[in-house]
Homo-oligomer: A and B are copies of this chain.
Amino acid sequence: MAPLDRNTHGVFAIAPTPFDEEGAIDFDSLSRLVDFYGDAGVTGLTLLGQMGEAPKLSHEESVRIVQHVLKRTDLPIVVGVSAPGYAAMRALTVDVMSAGAGGVMIAPPNTLRTDDQIVSYYEGAANAIGADVPFVIQDYPLSFSVVMSPAVIARIANAAPGCVMLKHEDWPGLEKISALRQLEADGAMPRLSILCGNGGLFLDFETERGADGAMTGYCVPELLVDVVRHTAAGDRDAAHDVFDAHLPLLRYEQQPGIGLAVRKYVMKRRGILTSDTQRKPGPVLSARARTEVDYLLSRLTRKDSRVTLTA
């Protein structure tokens, strides 16, 4: 349960929140999920992100989930604490850090536009949560409508010592990684751990560009671990070979709106989640879409023997 730092690398799995069919939190599935991630070789977990349906959880539920996971694993945990007000952000941060989390993740509100607005928001947030709490910038323009240039990220990193990691999911984003690493090399900003999202859709090149790994929730996290490992070992072709084998399913899961439904469905088929229910309002995977995922899984299992289906 080490805290995040500027050199954290590997794969942080974005954990979905398991619900039963009535929408109550399913802690048994959550336990299985945590064990599964550990077996898959991830280096950490991220709880209460968008893909964890965090906005649909109460403060108490959020804290219970974090406590449950922390009891189950020694992996470092990042917790999403985004909130409309700094007071709520601080309250959740205090609760989860005292429970043993390794850091928190903060997304920008969708009203921010200019560089100054974005920097000012993160300065205020860093001040609210306390200088000693390691935090992650969540940079996801497609979802939040907030675009952060490398210069803005550098300004935040320079202003807030607690800022140690970037969850990178700009799109397109490869040049951004190169630009940030150049700014670091030039001494213009401190090093950040860069973990990439976007469902892993560009992970094969992101790691080559200098990213430290992935922070995303692809339903076969073993693949993410492989790509990071092969790239770190300098085995480019091996990284791409395994990546390409998974790309058809990974691409299917990366559809906005229904991505989480695909993810939960596969995790149900893999025997991890008892139900693939999302809290309402939320999308439901059509019968036809399920057969498409089934087809992709049948093709994948012929290429990757670790993907076994029990349901």
Contact = CB atoms under 8 A, between A and B. Distances in A.
Contacts of A243: 248
Nearest to A149: B114
Contacts of A238: none
A289 B179 CA distance: 13
A151 interface: yes
Contact of A281 (B56, B121, B247, B288): B121
B255 A171 contact: yes
Contacts of A57: 85
A116 B85 contact: no
Given A121-B281, A172-B258, A288 B87 contact: no
Interface string A148-177: 110110000000000000000001101100
Contacts of A130: none
A280 B123 CA distance: 12
A125 to B, nearest CB: 8
Nearest to A241: B299
A27 interface: no
A187 interface: no
Contacts of A299: 240, 244
Number of copies: 4
B148 A114 contact: yes
A234 interface: no
Given A55-B84, A121-B281, A280-B128, A114 B247 contact: no
Interface in A224-256: 236, 240, 243-244, 247-248, 251-252, 255-256
A300 B252 CA distance: 21
Contact of A257 (B172, B244, B295): B172
Contacts of A115: 114-115, 149, 151-152
A84 B56 contact: yes
Contact of A279 (B85, B178, B204, B295): B85
Interface of A: 23, 53, 55-59, 84-88, 91, 110, 113-117, 121, 124, 128, 141, 147-149, 151-152, 171-172, 174-175, 178, 201-202, 204-205, 208-209, 236, 240, 243-244, 247-248, 251-252, 255-258, 279-281, 286, 288-289, 292, 295, 299
19 contacts: A53-B85, A56-B88, A85-B279, A87-B279, A113-B141, A114-B115, A114-B151, A124-B280, A172-B255, A175-B286, A175-B289, A201-B251, A202-B252, A205-B292, A240-B248, A244-B244, A244-B247, A244-B248, A247-B247
**A-B pairs, 3 with minimum CB distance:** A56-B85, A55-B84, A113-B147
Given A113-B147, A236-B295, 11 more contacts: A56-B85, A85-B280, A87-B280, A113-B113, A115-B152, A116-B151, A121-B281, A128-B280, A175-B286, A208-B292, A244-B247
